[in-house]
Amino acid sequence: MKQRPAMGSCYLRSQEGSRRPDARYTHQHQREGTLLKPSKIPDWLKPRIVPLWNRSYHATVAAQVYLDALVRGRVEHCSVCGRVAPILLRRDVIPPRLVEMWGLPPDLVDLVAQRESCECARCGAKLRARQLARALLQTFPSGFSGDQHRGSIRDWVAQEDIRTLRIAEINRIDGLHTMLFEHPRLVYSEFLEGVEPGHARNGTRCENLMNLTYNDASFDLVLTSETLEHLPDLSVGLSEIHRVLVPGGYHLFTVPLRPDVHSTYPRARLGEDGVMIPLVQPVIRHPGGDIGYPVFTEFGADLPDLLRAAGFEVTLFEANPNMKTFGQVFVTRKRELPEESPPGPIPGTPPTEGVA
């Protein structure tokens, strides 16, 4: 889930009606009243004191998170940058509105918070990105960096054999993108509203995963993270990834997969007029619950079967068994021989309660 400001966040104001996103604080802080109340600051003083107050507050929070990592011994090797660093856990990273709408119990809230934070203090790579990096190092080993516990993507992209790979990063993978960008044959794209696929805006190429403009067999490796759940038609997206991979090519990805959902089902679909039609209530968006990108597919334990039906061999990389399904990276490989029949639609119907 791509992180955006949490729903319900509160802001200090330097002048009437102007929100200051850098002054965001959590619901817990709001309840405890730990921030200066704007109403008690004279209007003429606000433009001077509010920025200083905000910087001080965020510096204090950052110091607390850093100290917590050291006290609890969360210091480890980062598979992205290759350095040993404190791992910063931010438990307020999951918006309360998303927790409510997705119906997450406390134990899963904790796992999702770990997955979407636990950032390397040196490079900022969150746990999800570091899990994907470890799977990548194991799938494409190169010299010493082939050891997922010792290597790093920083070193991996510099290896001569790795630099021959044709790689597509479809939508920026926060924490991993900066290192991948050093690869000479990386093709990076985003879905950009109002931009024709295959064209660029401000130097960034636009691609629609439902209708990629790349030629057949263009890539040895496709990387996505928290993207497939936002496709209006999952089977079409998988077919496109399959098409642009060379025979034997890999697609490594992560998706939000709850351990208590047994069967994949659609939460919404697009009508003929392009308008989203909800199939399950509530309509969930990432990352805010009711703000962000709409979720069209709720993934279940049968996802490997759907991937095999789409023409892929499937391996589950268990980055951390204690994380349950939130510690999984899907390593899929396009079969060498073409399938006799194209992948079909997602089976099943949406359950009435939203969780199978």
- Three-state SS for 115-155 is HCCCEECCCCCCHHHHHHHHHHHHHCCCHHHHCCCCCCHHH
- pLDDT at site 145: 47
Query: Domain boundaries in the chain?
Result: 144-334
Q: Spell out the alpha helix ranges (H) of the chain.
A: 27-32, 46-71, 96-102, 106-115, 127-139, 153-156, 177-180, 234-244, 303-309
Name the residue with higher pLDDT: 179 or 148: 179
pLDDT in tens, 305-333: 999 999 999 999 987 778 888 889 999 99
> For residues 235 and 320, what is the distance between their CA atoms, to the nearest angstrom?
28
How would you label 183-204 residue by residue, b for 16+ Cβ within 10 Å and e otherwise?
A: beebbbbbbbeebebeeeeeee
Name the residue with higher pLDDT: 135 or 69: 135
Name the residue with higher pLDDT: 28 or 122: 122
The region, left, alpha or beta by phi > 0 then psi within -120 to 50, assigned to residue 248 is left
- pLDDT at site 339: 52
CB 188 within 8 A of CB 172: yes
With cut-offs at 50, 70 and 90, classify the pLDDT of residue 15.
very low
88, containing H or E segment: strand 84-88
Token couple for 199: 């064209």
With cut-offs at 50, 70 and 90, classify the pLDDT of residue 144.
low
- pLDDT at site 63: 82
- pLDDT at site 43: 76
> For residues 109 and 117, what is the distance between their CA atoms, to the nearest angstrom?
12
Contacts of 160 by beta carbon, 8 Å cutoff, 6+ apart = none
Name the residue with higher pLDDT: 24 or 284: 284
- pLDDT at site 322: 80
- Average pLDDT score over residue span 249-276: 95
With cut-offs at 50, 70 and 90, classify the pLDDT of residue 22.
very low
* In the block, residue with structure tokens 């630099």: 163
Which CATH number applies to 144-334? 3.40.50.150
- Across 165-311, the runs of DSSP E, i.e. the strands, are 167-170, 186-190, 200-201, 204-206, 219-225, 245-254, 265-266, 268-270, 276-278, 285-287, 292-294, 297-298
**Does pLDDT of 21 surpass 60?**
no
At residue 64, φ and ψ (nearest 5 deg) are -65, -45
Share of residues in the chain with pLDDT > 90 (%):
65
Token couple for 168: 């597509």
pLDDT in tens, 162-173: 999 999 999 999
- pLDDT at site 57: 66
- pLDDT at site 11: 27
**Does pLDDT of 189 surpass 80?**
yes
**Does pLDDT of 355 surpass 50?**
no
